[in-house]
Amino acid sequence: MARPARPGPEPRPALRAWQAPNGRKGLDVGIHSASRAARNTAAAEGGAPEAGRRERRRGRRAPRSTRRRVLFWTAGTLAALLVAGTGVGAYLYQRLDGNIRGYDIEDDLGDNRPANLSPGAKNILVVGSDSREGTGGKYGSGFETMQSDTLMLVHIAANREWATVVSLPRDSWVEVPSCDQGDGRLSKAHHAKINSAFAIGGLSGEVKGALTCAVKAVEQNTGLRVDHFMSLDFNGFKGMVDALDGVEVCPEQPIRDKKANLDLAAGCQTLNGEESLGYVRTRYGVGDNSDIGRIGRQQDFLKTLAEKARSKLTDPKALFDFLEAFTSNLATDRAMAGIDPLRKLATSVQGIPSDRLTFLTVPNYPRELDHPTDRANVVWQYPQADTLFTRLANDEEVDKKELTDSAEESLDVRPSTTRVQVLNGTDTPGRAGEVAEELRRAGFQVVATGNAEEPAQETAIRYPQGMDVHADALAGRLQDAAVSADDATTPGLLTLVIGADFTGLRG
């Protein structure tokens, strides 16, 4: 979002990438998720210091090239398969085309949607659904509703010269909007994991409702307008793998996860559809047991799956079985519900150079750092998340290194380390108190509330010397706010003036 220019601070020294003693690395975008206690231990062992700025370690591990090329391989394979599929005969082509379920959810999304700032670009929400229908109770018990196991937002530039794929961790703690539950009742807006939106909208068992609520949640929390969506469920994934006679994986350690119905030995082995499903879903008993680690495995597996599919182009039965499994379990928006629109989309992405395809995870850190009792969720890091989504909204290519460096530098600038006073500049009594409660729920230290000296039309953040990064982090959570330095403010304390334009807190 555009903000008024303000005096710039002296350039900050580069920060050093580090790894917590427990072995948990930073996320794909380079944000590191260890507690302050872990950082203290690291400092004692010669790692990152607890206080002060950190120098960047030379030779920081680059993102694995496989992750950068997943979209290239997957889109290229899909395009090749769909083109080849047009030669299977008119009847079979129509059968594949008719398999795809198309839903028109435009009216259900309402009018309060993000503006489409770049009409030529495309934002596509990709949902991996685990409704567990037809699984016989495998892959986890006690789930009566639909679940979204994977959420990715694919931005394809208007000039088709670059694309960015943003993974949204299912454990992201966000505001889930009010949604139609399918029985005539609306759910209440509340904070929860982002994947719960799919479940709430799908309480009636209708995929349309589940996708509608998922799109609303993504749009509200990212500020990006979703142009298209695609959802593939469990059975489709299994069928695609089985059509290719399995896919090879090479885990470095044994993986035993009862929740994923998985028991694998270490070393290379070929998995059938059911085993592959457990492999891409597992998060316990492998790596750091996190959803972030699972995202990496899913991306690597997709690359292998795509390569295997390309090798089967000359096998008519394998080709048709693969496409049958894919299309039979695919749900899209109405405009994408057909072989031709999917082929055109895949072909346009296939032409993007691999070095212009960026895979990253929305900048985030464990919510535990702000709320010590929550060890299950992550929160998005601001202002970096806001920067990411704002650039994509304006169809501007994201510099992954720049985003990574910024996130590393400001990891210690979180709500729990930010003191704020809230002043009411509106004519609504008690507004400062209401906003203060929102801030406290987000983890901010609200030390005072009161009334502004004069009415304010625009929400504003004033910061004292040394608090510019904190001010940017707070501004990233607001829909819009003017940020300015003010030496008259109390040292170590941000002043947030609520204006008439205030629309709420993000995240």
Residue 421 reports pLDDT greater than 60? yes
**415-498 has which CATH code?**
3.30.70
Distance in angstroms (rounded) separating the CA atoms of residues 224 and 153: 9
Tokens linked to 454:
């004069």
Burial class (CB in 10 A: 0-12, 13-18, 19+), 97: middle
Give residue limits of the domains in the chain. Answer: 65-359, 415-498
What secondary structure letter does DSSP report for 112? -
Q: How confident is the model at residue 330 (pLDDT cuts 50, 70, 90)?
A: very high
Contact status, residue 164 vs residue 392, Cβ threshold 8 Å: yes
Q: How confident is the model at residue 332 (pLDDT cuts 50, 70, 90)?
A: very high
428-467 pLDDT, tens digit per residue, is 999 999 999 999 999 999 999 999 999 999 999 999 999 9
Contact status, residue 441 vs residue 469, Cβ threshold 8 Å: no
Angle of helix 234-243 relative to helix 291-311, nearest 10 degrees? 40
Average pLDDT of the residues in 323-340: 92
Residues 376, 382, 388, 392, CA torsion sign: positive
Higher-confidence position of 48 and 411: 411
How many other CB atoms are there within 10 angstroms of residue 491's CB atom? 9
Q: How confident is the model at residue 75 (pLDDT cuts 50, 70, 90)?
A: low
Residue 145 reports pLDDT greater than 50? yes
Give the largest CA-CA distance in the chain.
Answer: 76
Matching fold, domains 65-359 and 415-498: no
Pick the CATH number of 65-359 from 3.40.630.190, 3.30.70.360, 3.40.50.2300, 3.40.630.10: 3.40.630.190
* Residue corresponding to tokens 């809230």: 422
Predicted local distance difference test score (pLDDT) of residue 423: 98
Predicted local distance difference test score (pLDDT) of residue 54: 30
280-300 pLDDT, tens digit per residue, is 878 766 665 566 667 777 778
CB neighbour burial string for 57-79, b if at least 16 within 10 angstroms, e if fewer = eeeeeebeeebbbbbbbbbbbbb
Average pLDDT of the residues in 190-209: 92
219-247 pLDDT, tens digit per residue, is 999 999 999 999 988 778 889 999 999 99
Residue 66 reports pLDDT greater than 60? no
Q: How confident is the model at residue 24 (pLDDT cuts 50, 70, 90)?
A: very low
112-129 pLDDT, tens digit per residue, is 899 999 999 999 999 987
- Which range (39-53, 80-94, 165-179, 398-412) has the least confidence? 39-53
- Which range (1-10, 115-124, 187-196, 466-475) has the least confidence? 1-10
Predicted local distance difference test score (pLDDT) of residue 69: 44
Higher-confidence position of 310 and 491: 491
Q: How confident is the model at residue 257 (pLDDT cuts 50, 70, 90)?
A: confident
Q: How confident is the model at residue 479 (pLDDT cuts 50, 70, 90)?
A: confident
Predicted local distance difference test score (pLDDT) of residue 208: 93
Distance in angstroms (rounded) separating the CA atoms of residues 202 and 179: 10
Higher-confidence position of 65 and 429: 429
Tokens linked to 205:
């068992």
362-390 pLDDT, tens digit per residue, is 999 999 999 999 999 999 999 999 999 99
Residue 33 reports pLDDT greater than 70? no
The proportion of the chain whose per-residue pLDDT surpasses 70, expressed as a percent, equals 77
Contact status, residue 173 vs residue 367, Cβ threshold 8 Å: yes
DSSP string, 255-313: EEEGGGTEEE-SS-EEE-HHHHHHHHH--SSSTTS-HHHHHHHHHHHHHHHHHHHHHTT
